[in-house]
Amino acid sequence: MANALRNSFKYGCSGLLSQLSLHCRHGRVCASPYAAVQQRNNSSSAKIKVDLDASTGVAVMWMQSPPVNSLSLDFLTEFAISLEKLEMDRSCRGLIITSTLPKVFSAGLDIMDMYGKSPEHCGEFWKAVQEMWLKLYGSNMVTIAAINGSSPAGGCLMSMACDYRIMADNPRYSIGLNETKLGIVAPFWFKDTMVNTVGHRTTEIALELGLLYTSPEALKIGLVDQLVPEEQVLTTATETMTKWLAIPDHARQITKSMMRKQTIDKLLANREADTHNFVSFITKDSIQRSLRMYLEMLKKRKA
Amino acid sequence: MANALRNSFKYGCSGLLSQLSLHCRHGRVCASPYAAVQQRNNSSSAKIKVDLDASTGVAVMWMQSPPVNSLSLDFLTEFAISLEKLEMDRSCRGLIITSTLPKVFSAGLDIMDMYGKSPEHCGEFWKAVQEMWLKLYGSNMVTIAAINGSSPAGGCLMSMACDYRIMADNPRYSIGLNETKLGIVAPFWFKDTMVNTVGHRTTEIALELGLLYTSPEALKIGLVDQLVPEEQVLTTATETMTKWLAIPDHARQITKSMMRKQTIDKLLANREADTHNFVSFITKDSIQRSLRMYLEMLKKRKA
Amino acid sequence: MANALRNSFKYGCSGLLSQLSLHCRHGRVCASPYAAVQQRNNSSSAKIKVDLDASTGVAVMWMQSPPVNSLSLDFLTEFAISLEKLEMDRSCRGLIITSTLPKVFSAGLDIMDMYGKSPEHCGEFWKAVQEMWLKLYGSNMVTIAAINGSSPAGGCLMSMACDYRIMADNPRYSIGLNETKLGIVAPFWFKDTMVNTVGHRTTEIALELGLLYTSPEALKIGLVDQLVPEEQVLTTATETMTKWLAIPDHARQITKSMMRKQTIDKLLANREADTHNFVSFITKDSIQRSLRMYLEMLKKRKA
pLDDT in tens, C21-49: 333 233 222 223 333 333 333 444 589 99
For residue B11, the chain A residues in CB contact (below 8 A) are 243, 246
For residue A94, the chain B residues in CB contact (below 8 A) are none
Residue A33 has pLDDT above 50, yes or no: no
Strand partners, A110: none
User: Which whole-number Å values give the CA distances from B22 to B16, B113, B124, B284, in the listed order?
Assistant: 11, 12, 21, 22
Distance (Å, rounded) from C-alpha A289 to C-alpha A115?
A: 9
Among B79, B148, B141, which Cα is nearest to B109's?
B79
CATH classification code of B19-302: 3.90.226.10
Q: Give mean pLDDT, residues A250-261.
A: 97
Tell me whether the omega of the peptide bond preceding residue A119 falls within 30 degrees of 0, making it cis. Answer: no
For residue A7, the chain C residues in CB contact (below 8 A) are 246-247
pLDDT of residue A298: 81
Give the orientation angle of helix C119-137 with respect to helix C188-198, to 10 degrees: 20
The full DSSP string for B233-267 is HHHHHHHHHHHHHTS-HHHHHHHHHHHHHHHHHHH
Question: Model's pTM, two decimal places?
Answer: 0.88
Distance (Å, rounded) from C-alpha C80 to C-alpha C86?
A: 10
Residues of B labelled catalytic? 109, 154, 178-179
Q: Give mean pLDDT, residues B93-117.
A: 97
Strand order in the sheet with C174-176: C151-152, C174-176, C213-214
Residue C17 has pLDDT above 60, yes or no: no
Backbone angles phi, psi at C71, to 5 degrees: -85, 80
Mean pLDDT of chain C: 87
Contact B287, B183 (CB under 8 A): yes
Tell me whether the omega of the peptide bond preceding residue B67 falls within 30 degrees of 0, making it cis. Answer: yes
Backbone angles phi, psi at B255, to 5 degrees: -65, -45
Contact A256, B203 (CB under 8 A): no
Q: How close A197 comes to chain C (CA, Å)?
A: 13
Q: How many CB pairs under 8 A join B and C?
A: 68
- Indicate which residue of C69, C124, C178, C183 is catalytic: C178
Mean pLDDT of chain B: 87
Interchain pair B7, A246: CB under 8 A: yes
Question: Which of A25-29, A164-168, A216-220, C77-81 shows the lowest mean pLDDT across its residues?
Answer: A25-29
Q: Give mean pLDDT, residues A155-179.
A: 98
H or E segment and range at residue C94: strand C94-99
Distance (Å, rounded) from C-alpha A291 to C-alpha B42?
A: 74
Q: Give mean pLDDT, residues C103-130.
A: 97
pLDDT of residue A10: 29
Distance (Å, rounded) from C-alpha B12 to C-alpha A298?
A: 51
Q: Give mean pLDDT, residues A131-154.
A: 98
Q: Where are the alpha helices (DSSP H) in chain B?
A: 2-10, 33-38, 73-88, 119-137, 154-160, 188-198, 200-209, 215-221, 233-245, 249-269, 271-282, 285-302
Max CA distance (Å), chain C: 54
Strand order in the sheet with B174-176: B151-152, B174-176, B213-214
Q: Which residue of A has its CA nearest to B195?
A: A259
User: Which whole-number Å values give the CA distances from A207 to A159, A204, A212, C163, in the listed order?
Assistant: 16, 5, 10, 12
Question: Which of A210-214, A293-297, B26-30 shows the lowest mean pLDDT across its residues?
Answer: B26-30
Q: Which residue of B has its CA nearest to A165?
A: B205
